[in-house]
Amino acid sequence: MRVIDGLMSRLGMAPFAVVSLVLFFGAFVGIVVWTWTRPAREIDEQANLWKDDEDRIR
């Protein structure tokens, strides 16, 4: 791990690592919040999508 830290410091890429970590964390939190705020009706509809596909095949 120290090799990577040393290499990034020598190349001046440490700020890019911090920015990418913050962007990833922000995207992760955004996806979690978006998922938890979906209405129960929408989740139930999506949970039953596979049943609709089987009805159409027959």
Given this model, what pLDDT does residue 53 score? 65
Angle 47-32-29 from CA coordinates, rounded to 5°: 165
Nearest-angstrom CA–CA distance, 13 and 5: 9
Give me the pLDDT at residue 37, please: 94
Q: Could you state, in order of their start, the residue ranges of all structural domains in the chain?
A: 2-57
pLDDT in tens, the chain (58 residues): 677 777 777 777 778 888 999 999 999 999 999 999 999 999 888 888 888 765 565 5
- pLDDT at site 38: 92
